[in-house]
Amino acid sequence: MTTDSPGLPAQDDPVGAVLLVDDDPDMLKLMSAWLRGAGFSIQTAGSGSDALSKIAISRPDIVVTDLFMEGMDGMALLKEIHAGNPLLPVIMLSGQAQIPDAVQATHLGTSAFLTKPIAKERLIAEVSAQVSAVLDRKRRHGTFGAGIVFRSGIMQELLEQAEMVAQSDITVFISGETGTGKEVLARAIHDASPRAAHAFIGVNCGAIPEQLLESELFGHEKGAFTGANNRHEGLFMAANDGTMFLDEIGDMPLGLQVKMLRVLQDLQVRPVGATRSVAVNTRIISATHNKLEELVRDGEFREDLYYRLNVVPLHMPGLAERREDIPLLLEYFLGLHATRHNARRKRFDAEALEYLIAAGWPGNVRQLANTVELCATLTKGGVIAVAMAQRALREKPGRIQPLKDARDAFERRYLISVMRVANGNVATAARIAGRNRTEFYKLLGIHGIEVASFRSDATPDEPE
């Protein structure tokens, strides 16, 4: 591993941050000298695994990697990189100049394929072109989702993907737990799309009874049903030329799913009681906190509709997956509270901050917003103490366990599972676990697991 520069996070570095990956130190030095001379910020990695660690920490704008490396080769690295961030450009270098490599690399999404020995001008030109595109996107990104507060890599990647899909009419499906801000993301996509001047209409499919939902979405003719005294246009028509956000789509009744399919397939809606369909031009963004695949498997959601909706899946991470954003979000909501109530801006003390960063947040950003509101309202002075934060969260928060506790809990659960599979036979269990019998007995002893309890129907208690 070689580190030639601190490798600032990409968003702080307008010249572009390049990660060079090669197991030949002389190649790393050569490319570093060239690219640093051209004004880029350089980080280097001597192996694929080293590169993955660096990418996770410093988020370069581009990766230049050798194909032929010991251990993880360039192609495997490319797959790993794009599994985490499909937008990160990767330039592949090969000393072998084999056409199949180039073809495969292209299929896997390399931005360029250069053959060694590489020419200085060619490398600089390729890196400059790719970095320039990335920086352009980041500059534009300054306006995309301006109201979304984050600094985590996971959110940055999500917003970059969302911004890219915003420009097209492609159908987007947003998954994520309740309270993560799926509608905020949907609105950001709409605002950055060519439809921004038209309506954005959000509907919670789980909150409206089936009969009403049908008429709300598709409209109805006068007299279509009892109480339909007037013709109703329906939300799809109201969102014509704009965007329709269907939240909790997993709760949509099966009967309506057929009608939804028609909207997506034929771009037509038929109001309740109407004999003819009407053309609509509405972009659909749907979302759910449910696992839609499971609903499909259970026959509660149409598979054909699932595939129609899930063209571009975006996942809104839970707050626990983006804890580095919590201090920023707390600041944001404290500022909002102060503005809304025309009051002095309050702050959390260090202990409260630490407590809130480590809290479980099952209700995600929505819960955090409510917590801040409550704390700020009930605190008389300017500083919010940990006791208030604890009181505001009310339910016992799921704290992050220390590593040792988490590891111990996992080990105990694992041992119990293996013993169950082995029907209490320690020799078999030890073999499954890849340990010798003595070691395995020792582990059982450490966790106080009684072998005898697996030899009858009795089983030990599950760990907390």
Q: In the bound complex, what is the minimum distance in angstroms from residue 30's beta carbon to other proteins?
A: 5
Decide: is 37 part of the binding site for other proteins (CB under 8 A).
Answer: yes
Our CB check for other proteins shows the closer of 92 and 186 to be 92
Footprint (CB under 8 A) of other proteins, residues 16-35:
24, 26-27, 29-31, 33-34
Instruction: Choose, by CB under 8 A, the member of 116, 151, 231, 366 that binds other proteins.
Output: 116
Candidates 53-61, 63-71, 165-173, 387-395; binding stretch for other proteins (CB under 8 A): 63-71
Decide: is 68 part of the binding site for other proteins (CB under 8 A).
Answer: yes
Q: In the bound complex, what is the minimum distance in angstroms from residue 135's beta carbon to other proteins?
A: 24
For the beta carbon of residue 228, count every other beta carbon within 10 angstroms.
15
Our CB check for other proteins shows the closer of 23 and 214 to be 23
380: tokens are 């008389």
296: tokens are 């499909």
How, if at all, do strands 243-247 and 200-204 pair?
parallel
| Amino acid, single-letter form, for residue 163 | E
| Amino acid, single-letter form, for residue 117 | P
Our CB check for other proteins shows the closer of 116 and 323 to be 116
Instruction: Choose, by CB under 8 A, the member of 6, 12, 100, 117 that binds other proteins.
Output: 117
Our CB check for other proteins shows the closer of 38 and 415 to be 38
Q: In the bound complex, what is the minimum distance in angstroms from residue 244's beta carbon to other proteins?
A: 54
End-to-end CA distance of the chain: 41
Cα–Cα distance measured from residue 197 to residue 186, given in angstroms and rounded to the nearest whole number: 15
Backbone angles phi, psi at 121, to 5 degrees: -65, -40
Footprint (CB under 8 A) of other proteins, residues 70-109:
70, 93, 95-96
For the beta carbon of residue 444, count every other beta carbon within 10 angstroms.
21
Following DSSP, what letter does each residue of 350-378 receive, concatenated? Answer: HHHHHHHHHS--TTHHHHHHHHHHHHHHH
Distances (CA, A) of 226 to 89, 170, 211, 219: 59, 38, 12, 14
Q: In the bound complex, what is the minimum distance in angstroms from residue 10's beta carbon to other proteins?
A: 25
Q: In the bound complex, what is the minimum distance in angstroms from residue 71's beta carbon to other proteins?
A: 12
| Residue ranges that bind other proteins, judged by CB under 8 A | 24, 26-27, 29-31, 33-34, 37, 66, 68, 70, 93, 95-96, 116-120
